[in-house]
Structure 1
């Protein structure tokens, strides 16, 4: 099932998501994961966190391959994108010299800003079979993971930009919060009932 994407202004995007309990039926979890991938691909995203479909649980999916392909540099070793599910993730470390990259978000259509992030991370998480992993990621994949992880913490990429930049986009954000936004996928605005 393709969910509508929750738009900027909905309180679910600013709340810290809750852990997914171990007793959640496997079939229910697999359905949620499949629906999230379907929704992400439909909206042409490279990552999607559960709060973005109105579910305040610690789960996100990514497919960083399109980002890695777009960022290839002839002088750098090729980075391989990954398609992965992250359940109840915990950020163990973020290291290296921060670098800027222009980010966007399915929940904030039409807004893109440069965000500083560390190039290397270590994340502890459960996979779709509830097996625990602790793994290092770097480059664009690390950036996609950090962006989606922030969603689980109630943080949006617009929270990470300068006060000056926030002032410049304030009008756009206000319009999105009021339901005055267009995207090539369905949006759900604050106050709307969604499935």
Structure 2
């Protein structure tokens, strides 16, 4: 299990000031990289630190940054903002065989505030994943195949949604960001690969070849 993390010491005023600086800069912000403390603290729950207009502008900006990266999710701490907010979307075209093995279905854009999740059933699956805040690396991570997400929508509605397959993986990854957890904390470290090595050797639909050759999860499922 990942180690316990401390809550952010940012006040509501400092969070709002940070957001305003980003919104008024006139350029898309850089994505914070591993080693920055904001990625290792529990972000502040959203409790009205931003006005509705500010929140909407920040969500739109995060959507743009995510597209430019490109990625399928982005959490506010990845922009240096310790607030429990993340945006998610997965509309990339993916090889049909890869999509079938990984349970990868299109995920329409949505933003979530103050999310938490719990597994539905006991099945966990492992696949390679990466992170926009850990440039150049990928590793195999075991995650719950199906989850139930509790979150607040930008209009303040508390909502529950169930996710499975790759959508569930994205939701877990982004929710972890808001609690100071990087995917490397949950990864099989013997699987760690550069993007180039992953593309050249381990980009099959599942992790069975990488598992055999790199010597990780020797008794686990091949998924």
Rounded Cα–Cα distance in structure 1 between residues aligned with 2:73 and 2:102: 24
| Aligned-partner Cα distance in 1 for 2:153–2:55 | 11
Rounded Cα–Cα distance in structure 2 between residues aligned with 1:13 and 1:60: 13
Match of 2:60 among 34, 44, 55: 34
Question: CA offset at residue 130 of structure 1?
Answer: 1.5
**Residue 6 (1) aligns with residue 28 (2):** no
Gaps in structure 2 of 5+ consecutive residues = 1-26, 195-223
Root mean square deviation of aligned Cα: 2.3
Give TM-score scaled by structure 1 length. Answer: 0.77
| Cα distance, 1:18–1:77 mapped onto 2, change above 3 Å | closer
Q: Cα gap change, 1:164/1:139 in structure 2, threshold over 3 Å: closer, same or farther?
A: closer
State the TM-score, normalized to the length of structure 2. 0.68
Larger Rg: 2
- Once residues 19 and 104 of structure 1 are traced to their aligned partners in structure 2, the CA distance between those partners, rounded to angstroms, is 25
User: What is the deviation of 1:131?
Assistant: 1.2
Q: How many residues align?
A: 166
Which structure is richer in relative contact order (CA contacts within 8 A, separation 6 or more)?
Answer: 1
CA, structure 1 residues 146+77, in 2 after alignment: closer, same or farther (shift >3 Å)? closer
Do structure 1's residue 53 and structure 2's residue 82 form an aligned pair? no
> For residues 34-183 of structure 1, what are the structure 2 equivalents within 5 Å?
34-66=60-92, 69-70=94-95, 71-73=98-100, 79-162=105-188, 164=190
What SS is found at the alignment partner of 2:137? coil
Structure 1 residues not aligned, in runs of 5+: 170-195
